[in-house]
Structure 1
Amino acid sequence: MSIIMATYNRSQYILESILSIQNQTFKDWECLIIDDGGTDHTQEILAPILDKDPRFQYLFRTPKYEKGLPGSRNYGLDLAQGDYIIFFDDDDIAHPQNLELCVLELSKNDISFCRYIRVGFTGDFVCNFDYSKEYTSFYIDSSDINKILKNELQFNSCAVMWTKECYASHRYIEHLRYAEEWEVYARIITSVKRGISINKILYYGRKHNVSVTGDFGNRNLSSLASYTDAIQLVIANLKEKKMLSSEIIRYFIQVSLQYKEYDLFERILNTLALPKIEELKWRLFYLHLPLRLFFYGIYMRKYKE
């Protein structure tokens, strides 16, 4: 199986992440560490491990791929040799059973991916790992796509193992700087039969301000623009596969109210290419939406009193 880890100036944290990979109970893996052009001492810090453990490869992203996480991951995907693919970040910690339990699920079921629980932590990582192999689970398929897109069924970064077939015809969109995972997951999940979700914590994500997610939370302009681009791509994918419901159109049009400066509503309509009557219906919906949300807010406040 193949672990792909993109890295950029994470010398402060990456050694702990790499050690959590070495401590996996499942041992048959390769780890492709893709340096996105960092300028710190990451490679030197990892040198003792790289020299002794041939399962690790330290590579520099080539000019064929755009700078950034999507390009680095695409480079790793093009090199990966394993039957299964998983992405780890360079500042997080994987549970020792992460690979073992995911491979077990994928090998015994006719499924394409294994989702698990990811939790966040701040400061020093301290955890008494739960090594139990008893947990509940449920299946996920394309009928769940609306819940996934609306984040009612979360697909967190680095919390899914995929079969290599999932990425046979899918790659990350390299110009996206945010929501690139969300966009590619939508394409994959609507292209495969089903996956499984296991209710066990197998990944620990470090929380700090120096991250793409932090940029989005702080309304970084490039991340906001990337999100609107990703929405347009997701809608185009669902339309092509004839899986676009009124529910999800309504959801994204409501989201577009927050992105007027990116002209998201008009871009959604252009992507949908609806008949004139249908387009008019959504234009009227959008026109009256602020008022409806205003009165809904009043209703909810009264309901909670």
Structure 2
Amino acid sequence: MNSPLFSIIIPTYNRDNYISETLDSIISQTYSDWECIVVDDGSTDNTEKIVSQYVTADSRIQYHKRPDNYGAGGNGARNYGFTLSKGEFINWFDSDDVMLPDCLQKKIDLIKNTDFQFVITGGYYWDGKKINNPLAIYPTNDFYADLQTWKLNLTTNCVLFRKSFLQNKELFSEQMYRSQETEFFSRIFFKISENVYIISSEPTFLYRQHTNSITQNANVYNKKFLHSRLKLHLDNLSRSVEIKHKKLISYHYKGLVLQFFKALDNKDNENIALVKNNGYNKLKEINVLVAYLFIIIINLLMKVKMVDKLFRGMLYRLDVLIIKGL
């Protein structure tokens, strides 16, 4: 198979407990014209051994290690996998999830003989045994806003791209430590025309939920994770202002402020400075007085603890003035 139609790109790290299920589900696809590119981000378990057995058994499956010139993490692995791909279509897929048997067939049926640049399909939440609720994926009149506000539960599993749409675009940011997929979608789908895609609620995969790891990590403060979330809100605040979407401006401003409170509570001076400097500069483009008020309240929060709750409430509700300044 010299030019496979589908390139399935799977970043992986220490998934020896799950990756067999993932690869078995791909091999079992009713549509067979695909290549599967597994990119290992430095696994220390038996992932390489397991995948190598699949490579030997099926020539459509490849195993690669992420080279050092790509950033550590899933995004570097995703980007490297893209450079290796030969298919007309690209679908990134997670190494612990499972494709339903007709996943690829349903996606090709949606995109073939059309001018669509990408198609989005649904899936089910899954704990490894029981299939739970479907992901919130549905046709919408405000795709970008619903994506930003998590009304759409979009993951890389959902989206099949034409490779030509992705070429010459910046793909996944290798400087993001959290919200990597959201950052990618926010950037690549900005100002996208509704004529170049289609959304179907039809389920095509099982999305594994790791309840224990979510619970364990929920209350752990991590500077790099917070920095990524702050950057996402700052960038999306700028985009929201550019398209004058009041709902999104309010959403991302409030998200930025809530993350700032976490930095403040943890005395994280680096992320505090990120919000002060970048937040001020972005707000100044809308309304200089609001920008100054933003800085004044932040400075008071850092100095006057007795009225901390009052100032936090004032800062959080500044979105009303920001929107009026448009």
Structure 1-normalised TM-score?
0.80
Q: What is the match of residue 259 of structure 1?
A: 259
- 1:231 equivalent in alignment to 2:233: yes
Query: Runs of at least 4 residues of structure 1 off by over 4 A?
Result: 213-216, 236-239, 280-289, 291-294
Contact 2:91 2:156 in 1 (8 A): no
Contact 1:112 1:192 in 2 (8 A): no
Cα displacement string for residues 128-181 of structure 1 (whole angstroms, at most 9, x for unaligned residues): xxxxxxxx97367xx531221111233134211111133211211101111111
**Residues 144-159 of structure 1 correspond to what in structure 2 (within 5 A)?**
144-159=143-158
- 1:208 equivalent in alignment to 2:219: no
* Partners of 2:19 and 2:7 in 1: CA distance: 18
Cα displacement string for residues 221-260 of structure 1 (whole angstroms, at most 9, x for unaligned residues): 1323221122223344556xx3243332221121123212
Contact 2:18 2:95 in 1 (8 A): yes
Contact 1:216 1:224 in 2 (8 A): no
* Partners of 2:312 and 2:22 in 1: CA distance: 46
* Aligned pairs, number: 281
Cα displacement string for residues 80-122 of structure 1 (whole angstroms, at most 9, x for unaligned residues): 1111111111111111111111111111332222111122221
Q: What is the match of residue 83 of structure 2?
A: 78
**Residue segments in structure 1 that go unaligned for 5+ positions in a row:** 128-135, 295-305
* Partners of 2:84 and 2:240 in 1: CA distance: 29
1:101 alignment partner, SS class: helix
**Residue segments in structure 2 that go unaligned for 5+ positions in a row:** 1-5, 264-270, 299-309, 318-326
Contact 2:15 2:47 in 1 (8 A): yes
1:259 alignment partner, SS class: helix
Q: What is the match of residue 107 of structure 1?
A: 112
* Partners of 1:139 and 1:126 in 2: CA distance: 25
Taking only aligned residues, the RMSD between alpha carbons, in angstroms, comes to 3.0
Q: What is the match of residue 186 of structure 1?
A: 186
* Partners of 2:249 and 2:107 in 1: CA distance: 34
1:147 counterpart letter in structure 2:
D
Query: Would the alpha carbon gap of residues 19 and 268 (structure 1) be closer, same or farther in structure 2, given more than 3 Å must change?
Result: same
Q: What is the match of residue 298 of structure 1?
A: none
Select which of 96, 99, 102 maps to 1:97. Answer: 102
The percent of aligned pairs where both chains have the same amino acid is 25
Contact 1:65 1:72 in 2 (8 A): yes
Contact 2:89 2:160 in 1 (8 A): yes
Query: Would the alpha carbon gap of residues 277 and 292 (structure 1) be closer, same or farther in structure 2, given more than 3 Å must change?
Result: closer
